[in-house]
Amino acid sequence: MVSPLPALNVAAPAIELADWTHTMQRSVLRQMLAVVSRPGILSFAGGLPAPDLFPTADYSRALAQVLATDRGALQYGPPFAPLKAHIVRLMAERGVDCAPEQVFLTTGAQQALDVLTRLLLDDGGQVLLEEIVYTGIRQVVAPYRPRVLPVSTDLATGIEVEDVIDYLDGGARPAFLYIIPDAHNPLGVSLSQAKRRRLADVAVAYNLPILEDDPYGFLSYDGQCLPPVRAHNDSHVFYVGSFSKIMAPALRLGWLIAPEALLPKLTVIKEAGDLESSALTQRAVAAYLDGGHLPAHLARLNEEYRCRRDTMLAAMTRHFPEGVFWTTPRAGMFIWVTLPEHVDAGALLETAIERERVAFIPGQAFAQPGTAAANTMRLNFSNCCLADIEAGIERLGRVIGEVAGGG
Amino acid sequence: MVSPLPALNVAAPAIELADWTHTMQRSVLRQMLAVVSRPGILSFAGGLPAPDLFPTADYSRALAQVLATDRGALQYGPPFAPLKAHIVRLMAERGVDCAPEQVFLTTGAQQALDVLTRLLLDDGGQVLLEEIVYTGIRQVVAPYRPRVLPVSTDLATGIEVEDVIDYLDGGARPAFLYIIPDAHNPLGVSLSQAKRRRLADVAVAYNLPILEDDPYGFLSYDGQCLPPVRAHNDSHVFYVGSFSKIMAPALRLGWLIAPEALLPKLTVIKEAGDLESSALTQRAVAAYLDGGHLPAHLARLNEEYRCRRDTMLAAMTRHFPEGVFWTTPRAGMFIWVTLPEHVDAGALLETAIERERVAFIPGQAFAQPGTAAANTMRLNFSNCCLADIEAGIERLGRVIGEVAGGG
């Protein structure tokens, strides 16, 4: 015999959610992307690599080969050792010396950030983030409701390391500092060599873990490629790599170079998150790399993206009015534009879409609360053909010209 | 000019980790699996589906087709609507009425558990878990250091719902209850129809969210298939589905049926975890389902697994001594064995491996702290051929016979 239950409410009561979810914010960036992805809009807003440059045919062959020959391809399984060996070789080309025992495979670079945050950050702890920062890291730390210590960034040399030191000298105990060493998203800047070395020293001197997120590090449009901070420090730098920009995002495959002693803990955290990354994808990417396709593919990517970047920079020089400044990225996918101070990029976006059918992301979307970035915008150059870049910048220049001139 | 940094320690100091990591435990289960996966050991220990039953050729064709025809296959992209439509149809076959707007795609069922826990559980909050429980859910909740309220389980009818009510009547406010409605891992039991309905009522009456994890629900070896609790309650039950057991684990693709109003929050949480699940996999699975292959594939799986289950049960009847009891699973991959009380399954495992080269998982690996399960073990029947099942159970019976007889 079962006992009676309490009387039902007419309407079911609302489920109680975890406290932090009440302060949760949808990504402004993602909302904007939804708005500007309407047909007929020429968009520099997204952060997408060029799908016409994906190694589709070679990867399709790699998948077919693996499925035809490897009984473990669709099964659960441990991390695929041959892929780790490939990553060790890739890292050597990037100037980083590491062992397979330090390679940790993740479901994209984003999962690496999530797993590391779980490892390092306590509820209400401190984190060092740039004032203008990749929105994905803000989403990762949000559930911990951390105290964010904002650090400014020089548009020519990268994060202001002395600001980091000031916080540390002032007694701050951040769980980590997050950086993008090359082709910062959204700023487009790469860290100077001096700052790389300085950060490597600071990390050890202050026992400060650094999350070094390097999705664009294997791209280089000017032949110049400095090793990441991890090349100068293997005790405190957690290097995060990704196949999303050098092969394709839908692989959802990334990696972490971390101190070997921490891999068991990282494994437990990752298992809780998604058990493991796809055995099939791990094998297919390894087969693609076995085929020796990557160097030629990277060369083609670099040539194409350099051309798109240069086309956009040249068009900006022609079409943007005086008083507008921008970064010249050595790699990556983004140019950061600073408009005259009185220009509001959010209002500009509305006019640009309405009158000229062209879109971008206002820089404020990447700003920490309290950071003023109203007169900035991010332009993407990787996902448009040259004709669209030329036409779109001309149209955008008209809108900026009117508003900037009217200031 | 840069200021001098504090003097370096000779040895770099250890990185400070988040508090909870000091109580982190490696999965006993995973460690055991590593031990027993030695060559020459006949293993009933793992939880693997049979790789010879994966739809390898059809899925390979689906991948090739998608890569040849869909420009979005390797790109970032929103959840693939045709896959959601397929899942709505699958759920209808399972007796669950839902809309595409309630379907949320995840990187395997494990990610669904992780995302839901993040949505519902506060640090130090309460959760209702069975005393003998899937280890993956314990790994998910561990970082929150929750107060776990243990619930006992009847081996014929499933979780003791009246125990759940007792906790709730006693003032407990758990963030959720976790259940597996069919073919419980590790117990092999399926919930009785009465308990399904009762749980649906309890969830509403007490405003109790239920995480209903249903990886085996589309398998059924006796033609009998009860709808899950979600079929009786769409306000408080979060249904978790997976393609791992009905297609293949390496897809890393699962889904959640959740109240539509919560999908924006779930999206933000998932984006923080891994941005999105593979666009390629979503499209390839949809293409496979478009091809109409699944019903015949499920029929074949059910026939094969039924045969393996029946072979194991029959061999146990022949070779296990009196005083040993076991569950008869209607689906899934596991049989739960209860040995005479004085038998320690951990010690038995050592003897079994050493003398008879046969392995299983001692039940204690699935037990909450404080729950006694020393005389129990989990046997997997999905990943061995019939001859190995026959031979392995005979060998295991010899070891049990000696130890049980000697009590």
DSSP letters for B1-46 = -PPPPPPPPSSPPPPPPPGGGGG----HHHHHHHHH-STT-EE---
Neighbours of B40 (CB within 10 A): 6
Domains B19-54+296-405 and B73-292 share a fold: no
Assigned fold of A61-292: Aspartate Aminotransferase; domain 2 (3.40.640)
Q: Summarize pLDDT for A17-44 with one digit per residue, the tens.
A: 999 999 888 777 777 777 777 888 999 9
- Ramachandran region, residue A341 (left: φ > 0; alpha: ψ -120 to 50; beta: rest): alpha
Q: CB B274 to CB A108 under 8 A? A: yes
Q: CB B262 to CB A72 under 8 A? A: no
Q: Summarize pLDDT for B208-263 with one digit per residue, the tens.
A: 999 999 999 999 999 878 999 999 999 999 999 999 999 999 999 999 999 999 99
Mean pLDDT, chain B, integer: 94
DSSP assignments along B160-228, one per residue:
-HHHHHHHHHTT---S-EEE--SS-TTT-----HHHHHHHHHHHHHTT--EEEE-TTTT--SSS-----
The residue type found at B293 is H
Please report which confidence band the pLDDT of residue A224 belongs to, taking 50, 70 and 90 as the band edges.
confident
* Mean pLDDT across B154-176: 98
Partner residues linked to B67 by β-bridges: none
Q: Is the pLDDT of residue A206 over 50?
A: yes
- Radius of gyration of chain B, Cα coordinates, nearest whole angstrom: 23
Which is nearest to A159 in space by CA: A213, A110, A116? Answer: A213
Assigned CATH class of B19-54+296-405: alpha beta
Per-position b or e across B97-108, b if 16+ CB within 10 A of its CB: ebeeebbbbbbb
Partner residues linked to A129 by β-bridges: A150
Chain A residues lying within 8 Å of B175, measured CB to CB? 16, 18
Q: Where are the domains of chain B?
A: 19-54+296-405, 73-292
- Radius of gyration of chain A, Cα coordinates, nearest whole angstrom: 23
Which chain B residue lies closest to A237 (C-alpha atoms)?
B15
Q: Is the pLDDT of residue A143 over 90?
A: yes
Q: CB B51 to CB A75 under 8 A? A: yes
The residue type found at A126 is Q
Q: Summarize pLDDT for A88-135 with one digit per residue, the tens.
A: 999 999 999 999 999 999 999 999 999 999 999 999 999 999 999 999
B174 in contact with chain A, both atoms CB, cutoff 8 A: no
Q: Is the pLDDT of residue A223 over 90?
A: no
Task: Report d(CA B344, CA B182) in Å as an integer.
Answer: 28
Interface size between A and B, measured as CB pairs under 8 A: 257
Assigned fold of A19-48+296-405: Aspartate Aminotransferase, domain 1 (3.90.1150)
Q: CB A207 to CB B27 under 8 A? A: no
Say which residues have a Cβ less than 8 Å from residue A164's Cβ, sequence separation at least 6. Answer: A128, A151, A177, A199, A202, A208
SS3 A339: coil
Mutate to test the interface with B, among A20, A29, A67 (most CBs of B within 10 A): A67
SS3 A342: coil
Task: Report d(CA A405, CA A399) in Å as an integer.
Answer: 10
A21 in contact with chain B, both atoms CB, cutoff 8 A: yes
Top-confidence residue, B11 or B291: B291
Please report which confidence band the pLDDT of residue A8 belongs to, taking 50, 70 and 90 as the band edges.
low
Q: Compute the residue count for chain A.
A: 407
Please report which confidence band the pLDDT of residue B1 belongs to, taking 50, 70 and 90 as the band edges.
low
| C-beta of residue B251 within 8 angstroms of C-beta of residue B243 | yes
Q: Is the pLDDT of residue B9 over 90?
A: no
Q: C-alpha angle with apex B199: B196 to B201, nearest 5 degrees?
A: 115
Chain B residues lying within 8 Å of A120, measured CB to CB? 15-18
CATH: 2.102.10.10, 3.30.1600.10, 3.40.640.10, 3.30.1490.20. Which one for B73-292?
Answer: 3.40.640.10
Please report which confidence band the pLDDT of residue A246 belongs to, taking 50, 70 and 90 as the band edges.
very high
pLDDT of the residue at A40: 87
Partner residues linked to B106 by β-bridges: B254
pLDDT of the residue at B407: 44
Q: Are strands A376-380 and A334-338 parallel, antiparallel or unpaired?
A: antiparallel
Partner residues linked to A210 by β-bridges: A177, A237
Which chain A residue lies closest to B51 (C-alpha atoms)?
A75
Neighbours of B292 (CB within 10 A): 8
Where would I find the beta strands (DSSP E) of A275-364? 325-326, 334-338, 358-359, 361-362
Please report which confidence band the pLDDT of residue A407 belongs to, taking 50, 70 and 90 as the band edges.
very low
| Inter-CA distances, A209 with A233, A257, A402, B255, Å | 10, 13, 46, 35
Percent of chain B with pLDDT over 70: 97
Report which secondary-structure segment, H or E, holds A376: strand A376-380
A window 50-69, beta carbon within 8 A of B = 51, 54, 56, 59-60, 63-64, 67-68
Q: How far is the alpha carbon of B274 from chain A, nearest alpha carbon, in Å?
A: 5
B185 in contact with chain A, both atoms CB, cutoff 8 A: no
Q: How far is the alpha carbon of A305 from chain B, nearest alpha carbon, in Å?
A: 17
